[in-house]
């Protein structure tokens, strides 16, 4: 089912590039504003970037900002119109990445792309990365002539998480979806393979989460009474000797929420190098994070119809499940 007709109000052909709204991914969490912009505006002089910030043309969640301020995962960054000559040409993805992403598209119309995000691909270009998923998708869709003057992530999932990812093809749908996420009207279902026997009576974890704590030189998320309210519902799908396949439905959208709530419940996700060392002992050959965004659904704009899509589990996770 298609969404409403495309809205190109943000496309300004006279300058080659209209206003852009970028949602900060978990990979860019806590970056300085100036560094965040420099990583995304390749070829734009630093002096130009600092001038845009100083004049208030760059906004974070609709507010003015400073170069030394830091972006947080989930922030919405407004980038003003820039002439194409001011930016470097997009980096062409490798042939293997092009094929992988093209084969990962679950749904596309004039307003929306839904992709089954592969494991190990960051949703945005970041430190040490030449290109990210959204940059690659812009290149792919433009090359195919399918129109991508505007192509932005409607939400984010972690680099090592696979599954459903919504990409908006115009600002109207982007804003609609962001409002739906904020109002908790988007239903997301994840499948996770966790260590041990998940108790049948643990059907909800309600534990506040605090970002940006430092442990062993690494930024992590922890359960903390001073953190933000965070709730995840759980259901057992299948039991194995040393593991449990569970369904997780986050009612809030905090960074690493499912991963930390599983750890807090005493059953961390297999392959989660950030939040457990148990995988090294019990599953030493596992090289993936066993967390998959299996399904997502929301009500279509100007309609009572529900849009729903499911993503097949990635082969590596399926192979591990079959071996248990």
pLDDT in tens, 229-264: 999 999 999 999 999 999 999 999 999 999 999 999
The number of distinct structural domains making up the chain is 2
- pLDDT the model gives residue 89: 57
Assess whether pLDDT exceeds 60 at residue 174: yes
Last residue of a domain, one of 149, 164, 182: 182
Q: How many residues does the chain have?
A: 324
Angstrom distances, CA of residue 171 to CA of 90, 109, 124, 156, 309: 21, 15, 18, 17, 21
- Phi and psi, residue 214, nearest 5°: -105, 130
Q: Tell me whether residue 243 is in a domain.
A: yes
For residue 152, give the nearest of 107, 111, 109 by alpha carbon: 111
Q: pLDDT of 15-65, one tens digit each?
A: 345 688 888 887 778 888 988 898 788 767 777 888 899 999 999 999 999
Q: Tell me whether residue 144 is in a domain.
A: yes
Angstrom distances, CA of residue 101 to CA of 97, 169, 272: 6, 16, 24
Last residue of a domain, one of 153, 182, 211: 182
Catalytic site includes residue 158: yes
318's CB contacts (< 8 A; 6+ apart) are none
What predicted TM-score, i.e. pTM, was given to this entire model? 0.74
Q: Tell me whether residue 316 is in a domain.
A: yes
- pLDDT the model gives residue 145: 65
Q: Tell me whether residue 107 is in a domain.
A: yes
- Distance CA(99)–CA(121), nearest Å, equals 14
Angstrom distances, CA of residue 160 to CA of 21, 134, 273, 305: 24, 15, 10, 32
Q: Which of the residues 29, 75, 158, 272 is marked catalytic?
A: 158
- Cα 144 to chain centroid distance, Å, stands at 24
- pLDDT the model gives residue 7: 35
Last residue of a domain, one of 167, 182, 197: 182
């Amino acid at each position: 089912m298609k969404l409403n007709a495309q809205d190109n109000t943000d496309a300004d052909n006279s300058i080659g590039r209209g206003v852009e709204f970028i949602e900060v991914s978990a990979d860019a969490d806590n970056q300085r504003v100036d560094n965040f912009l420099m990583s995304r505006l390749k070829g734009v002089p630093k002096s130009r970037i600092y001038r845009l910030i100083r004049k208030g043309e760059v906004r974070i969640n609709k507010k003015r900002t400073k170069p030394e301020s830091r972006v947080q995962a989930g922030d919405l960054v407004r980038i003003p119109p820039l002439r194409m000559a001011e930016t470097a040409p997009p980096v062409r993805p490798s042939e293997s990445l092009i094929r992988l992403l093209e084969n990962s598209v679950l749904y596309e119309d004039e307003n929306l792309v839904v992709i089954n995000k592969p494991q190990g691909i960051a949703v945005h270009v970041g430190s040490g990365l030449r290109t990210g998923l959204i940059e690659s998708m812009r290149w792919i869709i433009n090359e195919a002539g399918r129109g991508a003057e505007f192509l932005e992530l409607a939400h984010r999932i972690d680099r090592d998480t696979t599954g459903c990812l919504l990409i908006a093809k115009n600002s109207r749908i982007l804003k609609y979806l962001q409002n739906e996420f904020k109002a908790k009207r988007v239903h997301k279902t994840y499948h996770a393979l966790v260590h041990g026997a998940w108790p049948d009576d643990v059907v909800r974890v309600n534990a506040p989460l605090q970002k940006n704590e430092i442990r062993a030189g690494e930024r992590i998320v922890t359960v903390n009474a001073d953190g933000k309210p965070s709730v995840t519902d759980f259901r057992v799908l299948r039991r194995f000797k040393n593991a449990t396949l569970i369904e997780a439905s986050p009612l809030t959208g905090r960074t690493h929420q499912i991963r930390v709530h599983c750890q807090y419940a005493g059953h961390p996700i297999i392959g989660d190098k950030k939040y457990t060392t148990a995988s090294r002992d019990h599953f030493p050959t596992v090289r993936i994070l066993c967390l998959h965004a299996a399904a997502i659904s929301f009500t279509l704009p100007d309609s009572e119809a529900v849009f729903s899509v499911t993503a097949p589990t990635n082969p590596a996770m399926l192979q591990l499940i079959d071996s248990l």
